[in-house]
Amino acid sequence: MKAEFTAIIEKAPEGGFWAMCPEVPGANGQGETIEKAKTSLREAIELILEDRRTDILRGLPDDAIREKVIIG
């Protein structure tokens, strides 16, 4: 899946950086550099979205129609 999200990055008081994504509640990351914080955030977003997808698809009726929707 390819998508674009916003990364809000700030310096952490203890050193390094922390990042959060306003479009995906609960997605945050941290790292010693901005790139490491972004990588950590990217991994958190992927895990959260995969978990939500799995949770939603579990228990769908057999006759449910599943198609892709492309945004953007």
pLDDT (0 to 100) of residue 49: 95
The enclosing domain of 71 has a CATH number of: 3.30.160.250
* Whole-prediction pTM: 0.84
Q: Is 34 exposed, middle or buried (0-12, 13-18, 19+ CB in 10 A)?
A: middle
pLDDT, tens digit (0-9, with 9 covering 90-100), for 17-69: 999 999 999 999 999 999 999 999 999 999 999 999 999 999 899 899 989 88
pLDDT digits (tens, 9 = 90+) for 3-15: 899 999 999 999 9
Number of domains in the chain: 1
Single-letter amino acid, residue 43: E
Please name which of 53, 52, 54, 12 lies closest in space to residue 29, comparing C-alpha atoms: 12
Domain extent, residue 28, equals: 1-72
